[in-house]
Amino acid sequence: MEFITGKHISRRAVLRGLGATVALPFLDAMVPAGRVWSKSRKAVANDPTRLVCIEMVHGSAGSNEWGATQNLWSPATVGRDFDLSSTSLSPLAPFQDYLTIISNTDVQGAEADIPEEIGGDHFRSSAVFLTQAHPKQTESSDVMAGTSLDQLYAKRFGQDTPIPSMQLCIETVDQAGGCAYGYSCVYTDTISWSAPDEPLPMIRDPRVAFDQLFGAGGSAEQRAARRRSSSSILDWITRDVAKLKRGLRPSDRRRMDQYLENIREIERRIQGIEAYNASGEVRELPEAPAGVPDSFDEHVRLMFDLQALAFEADMTRVFSFKMGRDASSRVYPESGSDKPFHPASHHGGNPEAVIEFAKINQYHVSLIPYFLEKLQNTMEGDATLLDKTMVIYGSPMGDSNLHNHRRCPLFVVGGANGRLEGNMHLFAPAGTPMANPMLSLMHKLGFDDMESFGDSTGEFSLTI
């Protein structure tokens, strides 16, 4: 490709090498001469909100009847200027101006409709989170739920990026056939549905995600050979990088250097994880692929780093991220609790045990600011990526001890291109479907023509 000083560079320009394709971050050179990015009609039209949908399974301690009275999940104050310090959301305090908490909504679609479905909450809930539709009870391939929010958005606003959407996860999702209570494992393996009968697979291995973002091009053999070597994908595009940088202003060269260094740093971490996992050392997760770190912290951060880089390069604008699995017995030492996740969630309503589960909830939330900081520190034109992103975090379950789906956790963070006010705690009337605020969020994402979503009964005001 040709890069000429003073000429406009396409937002879709890439650097290609053997088995590697690296998209570019947003550069000043991508703004047509004489035009300001923020005032360009074409730029605004082609700048949809980035969307990240995160599910953390199995409800929260604050969804328990006693836990709700203690405000273990959300703050006591409804409206603005609330205090997060005693809640599981306290790690989000630095981003309170970007935060909208939506309390007291129900996910009726995850409840049992008929006696035969009773007990199957673990194997039904994840399929409901982003579809807000009740799944068909089946262990065969005739699965049926709904089209998920992330995929509706990807179909309308993600088709002009190289990858319309990506689906990531942390826990194992390689089960097949039936799980339990008459449900196919696919219902608990994914939160993304391209159509009511088309569940999408989720990527657990950071290496696979990295290669999707930066390893395209060349043959499968060439890509495999590159992965087996200790070299970087950047080694394959050195000539194009040098050629590009010669035609850039100093500010753009610095941006390119930082972006490429971020790619290399993530690649080094993945290579280090693979080397350790292939060394013969005893693993905490012996069943996990070589690219999956044993550390939950490191795994989540690596996945967030990949998402931030993908947004920076505009490789995709849509991610779904499944951070847990209901029946997991994983222990999170960093949480301050030594209890396995699933046993801790069955706290029996005992106040001490409820508070112990709240520690795990808070730990999970504490991982989100790492991603938010990445977005806040990345400029695109005259705004940060955090200003241009909507992050939805929630669970389709409420009180995990009872396996009910009332008072389910839900919050939204990010500026969504100016369409979310932030610094707001909204408390829904009893019986409000979670689908109602999700419908309103879809409207904020540009679906002005959408009249319903899942089992919604109407809009839910996202302002006071």
pLDDT band (50, 70, 90) for residue 20: confident
pLDDT of residue 7: 57
pLDDT of residue 17: 77
Domain limits at 91?
Answer: 52-204+296-308+318-464
pLDDT of residue 279: 94
What is the DSSP pairing of strand 50-55 with strand 389-394?
Answer: parallel
Q: For residues 126 and 192, state if they share a domain.
A: yes
pLDDT of residue 40: 38
Report pLDDT digits (tens) over 107-162.
Answer: 999 999 999 999 999 999 999 999 999 999 999 999 999 999 999 999 999 999 99
Residue bearing the bigger pLDDT, 354 or 382: 354
Q: For residues 282 and 156, state if they share a domain.
A: no
Residue 29 phi, psi dihedral angles, 5° rounding:
-65, -10
pLDDT band (50, 70, 90) for residue 47: confident
Map tokens 């989000």 to a residue.
Answer: 92
What's the whole-number mean pLDDT along residues 272-292? 94
Residues paired with 413 in a beta bridge: 99, 391
pLDDT of residue 374: 98
Map tokens 């049992």 to a residue.
Answer: 112
Report pLDDT digits (tens) over 390-441.
Answer: 999 999 999 999 999 999 999 999 999 999 999 999 999 999 999 999 999 9
Report pLDDT digits (tens) over 182-225.
Answer: 999 999 999 999 999 999 999 999 999 999 998 755 566 666 66
Distance CA 193, CA 210 (A): 22
Distance CA 275, CA 260 (A): 22
pLDDT of residue 464: 87
Residue-wise DSSP of 2-39: ---TTSPPPTT-EEEETTEEEEPPP-GGGSPTT--GGG
Cβ contact 199:189 at 8 Å: yes
Q: Which of 391, 374, 270, 395 is nearest to 324 (CA)?
A: 395
pLDDT of residue 32: 73
CATH assignment at residue 162: 3.40.720
Residue 47 phi, psi dihedral angles, 5° rounding:
-125, 60
Q: For residues 57 and 180, state if they share a domain.
A: yes
What is the average pLDDT value for the chain, to the nearest integer?
Answer: 91
Residue 37 has pLDDT above 60, yes or no: no
Q: For residues 250 and 219, state if they share a domain.
A: yes
pLDDT of residue 8: 72
Distance CA 196, CA 86 (A): 40
Q: For residues 187 and 244, state if they share a domain.
A: no
Q: For residues 414 and 446, state if they share a domain.
A: yes
Q: For residues 96 and 116, state if they share a domain.
A: yes
List the alpha helices (DSSP H) in 397-446. 435-444
Distance CA 279, CA 349 (A): 44
Report pLDDT digits (tens) over 308-351.
Answer: 999 999 999 999 999 998 889 999 999 999 999 999 999 999 99
Q: For residues 171 and 259, state if they share a domain.
A: no
Q: For residues 195 and 301, state if they share a domain.
A: yes
Q: How many domains does the chain have?
A: 2
Q: For residues 327 and 197, state if they share a domain.
A: yes
What's the whole-number mean pLDDT along residues 7-15? 83
pLDDT of residue 46: 56
